[in-house]
Structure 1
């Protein structure tokens, strides 16, 4: 049932540009996503996940230019971690900007992950904006290990389900590392 990646990028983009939310494969687990600059779309994800807006989500980016659009100051250690990471790694950085206010934490930090996964990369290339990413589950429930583990409530609650990699099992969440401007490093999840 897998469709051509370009068709899926087109379909997902059409939904996202209208303020919709999608269910899609990432470089880690299946995610729920939207345009990270659209506060109404971000609010739809919080509502679907039954999650308090005080619990922040992360954004995916597809390159250096996009990271610098979201963060003015990026510690040098962030680039070292990105270069040396052997598995997908989300960095929490200070002073996010140019994204929806409800995707940013109260302390003005935001989790960001640079992805090379083909679908995500091409979708962001088309969007020219970061993509919200949060695990495809109701808040407090286990993160689905594969597409077949995603609840019908989530599948029926999104505006579009990407028809790629539905038979693939990844199930590994990313490493999360918080970096502060004064170069403090704290591993939140290995």
Structure 2
């Protein structure tokens, strides 16, 4: 069996996402379920697969400041300081997102985002030219799997494509989550 190639996997995942599908993929933290963050039907498929209430929002991965400014008109300066100083992946919850599927936006008009440098995710978003939904690969309320082997059969069978990279890797902890309002109020949700 040949070693999986990142470019082939990016191509395969892109083709599925482009057609409204959902993928199972390795992120910079845990295994994630993802789709085009601008496609409300694909987002709804993820909520259904996870058996998750739409009121519990999911985060979105981005690969550049340009993508960040496409989704948020205003980004507090402290957001960049937090991202630059963070030693581990950090999710920021920011106010007033736009240009994403409405069913991703929380009731309080916020959206959780993370800028990622993970090579597969980065290259996939470069190809998509859009943000990527990222939610843990578990049924809502059940533990987050630490490795590919721990992912529930329901999830494996429910996605349209499983990225063939890092199946042997044990995931680090989930990201730190910080809520950062345009009023500069900072609240740590998950350290």
TM-score by length of 1: 0.99
SS in structure 2 of the partner of residue 93 of structure 1: strand
Distance 1:76 1:4 in 2: 37
Query: Any idea what the Cα deviations from partners look like across 1:84-119, whole Å, max 9, x if unmatched?
Result: 000000000000000000011011100000000000
Aligned to 1:182: 183
Distance 2:189 2:172 in 1: 18
- 1:187 to partner: Cα distance: 0.3
Q: Which runs of 5+ in 2 are unaligned?
A: none
Aligned to 1:8: 9
Q: Which runs of 5+ in 1 are unaligned?
A: none
- Give runs of ≥4 in structure 1 deviating > 6 Å: none
Aligned to 1:155: 156
Aligned to 1:93: 94
Tell whether 2:32 aligns with 1:31.
yes
- 1:171 to partner: Cα distance: 3.9
Alignment of 1:159-178 (within 5 A): 159-178=160-179
Distance 2:47 2:160 in 1: 14
Q: How many residues align?
A: 190
Distance 2:81 2:161 in 1: 36
- 1:80 to partner: Cα distance: 0.3
